[in-house]
Structure 1
């Protein structure tokens, strides 16, 4: 489950950056709305998957509510899930 969570964290971060770095400028600056539909849907699904899997991983790893709060808040920040992946989910972090 941890590998899945790592993958979802990275994909969620990428979708966040694509949505606000590509989709929104295309929509509001160029008037092209279509990419935002697909990027937005993908980001929404990945965000929900991230939040649900975070709960499951926290239970599986016996992490407390504080760690879950950190994981969730990071999903709201640009580059946050990349930080979480490196600090909490990478093999190097798990060995420490």
Structure 2
């Protein structure tokens, strides 16, 4: 799914080129923000967040809970989620359109 929005850099601040804000396909950015933002941090969508950092060093059951929560929240944001998993390095991977 293509989502045009203002782009953020790795520090979650706006990208600026030639003195102007950069716009682009922000689908990956939307999913990343949903995963990394904690509930209540976004005043416009306070429940649209997972807070993945709360699951660091968690049990398998808690990690599975997080993956289900990611799938649910990303789906609520309008994406068709095919698969959510942890790769061999422990990174969260989301296959969605």
TM-score normalised by L of structure 1: 0.33
- Structure having the larger proportion of residues in strand: 2
TM-score normalised by L of structure 2: 0.33
